[in-house]
Amino acid sequence: MTTRVTTASVTGAPYRIGRQFARGLVWFRRDLRADDHAALHYALKHCHQVWCAFVFDRDILDPLLARGLKADRRIAFIHASLAELDATLRRAGGGLIVLDGRPREALPALARDLAAEAVFLNHDFEPAAIARDDAVRDALAADARAMFTFKDQVVFERDEVLAGHGGPFAVFTPYKNAWLRTLQPFDLRPYPVAPYLGALAPLPAAHDQPLPPLDVLGFRPTDLPLPAGSTGAHALFDDFLARLGDYGQKRDYPALRGPSYLSVHLRFGTLSIRTAARAAHEAVLRGGADSAGAAVWLSELIWREFYFMILHHHPRVAQGRSFQPACDAIRWREDDTGDRYFAAWRDARTGYPLVDAAMLQLRQSGYMHNRLRMVAASFLVKDLGVDWRRGEQVFADWLNDFDFAANNGGWQWAASTGCDAQPWFRIFNPVTQSEKFDPQGRFIRKYLPQLAALPDRHIHAPWLAPADVLASANVRLGDNYPRPLVRHEVAREETLARYGILKTKSGKQKTPEAD
């Protein structure tokens, strides 16, 4: 009987698979590329024939449809990326088998149909995904088939970067420093695929089917405001490398082309994390004009891994619980006012232009600038007093690059309930944030054209503008743009009272701060 095997990652050393297989199956998930791919590399090396598959997982898709997300850009992105992946594999002599079903039944059935002796896949870290993969492993084992899993979507995972006491870090900077100390050249080397492509097997006739259209999956075509697939990923990557040196200075200004715009490609694996981290790390080591920006970007990539590590060691955060248990006692607005505030925030009707423009960017494109994610989240939680979990779900539904670990980590950071979160007494002022990071109102004007004629000094807080200035700009508060939902200075005091239950060990509250 074939031994059940799940490889364990070993920093600085390759995986060891002690035998060869006649037939193998690679299960693609959040790794939609054919280069620098751990599972594909090992399958091609250890199998005489290899097939590749992707499953449109109904356990993921059906809840989206139930929430009315039939025009989900993420499904369109995946669909377009699969079309490119299939074409790439076909040119190499294989192809992509695309199934629509539940993986825990569909994958074992496909392996049985292909007589595959082993299934190869890359790790996923979310609790639901782990449970799914365990079920697939058990079903394969019942058929005497092996399953191998590999680290691929991060440089370091799980227990590879630990604190001196042997447990996980709870503060980012020490984690980052340990991450950098642990890093070796091997960790950033790509997994070679091209030398082994001769093992790709042509698709059996029964599985040589065209990619199912979106409507067959239950979704509608939608606008896709970014290029998909590995081709799109590398085009954006090349563009970003040309402006890497400016990243540190420009990334906080939503009207500037400062971010990498690669988050969705890292989310779905159309770009390898090793490619990204290697470019950043090498630029830091070279020094020169790009090094400062590269260091900031590398730090952001390490934040991504920090949140994956937190999810692995503290799976309770996936159960709607605060990372800091004491924070579960905070009383949020749960009355009609809370519902009204939440709806106004979601629908970009808060009366605070930067917040509303951010929410419109999210709704119209599926993307939100990282600085604005912090501003919008802070406003919902600390100006409106609404439970952070409600905002977390909106971002989960609308963000093209939604990743549970990063989304939960970001929301808990903003709500001061998470690990290494901003202190509860630090409260973003949405007007000063607007004045600082969109000083000419360029971003606001793009998404709120009804405010476009306001002078720069008044566009951040229209309710403070003189009546003649509003009239000249054709801004009618309460008509074509809402009055502010709350007064920040009043909301701030309410927030300090709400968080007042969180004491220092001495029992004294810390001194309030503002930003």
Q: Is 370 a catalytic residue?
A: yes
This prediction's pTM: 0.93
pLDDT at 503: 64
Give the contacts of 89 (CB within 8 A, at least 6 positions apart). 34, 52, 95, 96, 200
Q: Kindly list the structural domains of the chain, giving each domain's residue range(s) and its CATH number in brackets, ordered by start.
A: 1-152 (3.40.50.620), 153-189+231-313 (1.25.40.80), 325-514 (1.10.579.10)
Give the contacts of 379 (CB within 8 A, at least 6 positions apart). 345, 350, 352, 355, 428, 430
Single-letter code of the amino acid located at 141:
A
Catalytic residue among 51, 179, 297, 303: 303
Give the tens place of pLDDT for each residue, 412-447.
Answer: 999 999 998 778 888 999 999 999 999 999 999 999
Give the contacts of 176 (CB within 8 A, at least 6 positions apart). 299, 302, 303, 306
Give the tens place of pLDDT for each residue, 320-372.
Answer: 999 999 999 999 999 999 999 999 999 999 999 999 999 999 999 999 999 99
439-454: burial string, b at 16+ Cβ within 10 Å, e else: eebebbbebbeebeeb
Q: φ and ψ at 413, to 5 degrees?
A: -65, -50
| Helical (H) or strand (E) element with 291 | helix 291-313
Distance between CA atoms of 349 and 359, rounded to whole angstroms? 9
Give the tens place of pLDDT for each residue, 497-512.
Answer: 999 888 643 344 443 3
Catalytic residue among 51, 179, 388, 424: 388
Q: Is 297 a catalytic residue?
A: no
Catalytic residue among 27, 51, 297, 411: 411
Burial class, 161, CB count within 10 angstroms (exposed 0-12 / middle 13-18 / buried 19+) = buried
pLDDT at 224: 87
Catalytic residue among 300, 435, 463, 494: 300
List, in sequence order, every residue forming a beta bridge with 28; answer none if it has no partner. Answer: 54
Q: Is 332 a catalytic residue?
A: yes
Catalytic residue among 105, 370, 435, 463: 370
Q: Is 429 a catalytic residue?
A: no
Give the tens place of pLDDT for each residue, 4-27.
Answer: 333 333 233 457 888 999 999 999
User: Which residues of the chain fall short of a pLDDT of 50?
Assistant: 1-13, 504-515
Q: Is 27 a catalytic residue?
A: no
Q: Is 411 a catalytic residue?
A: yes
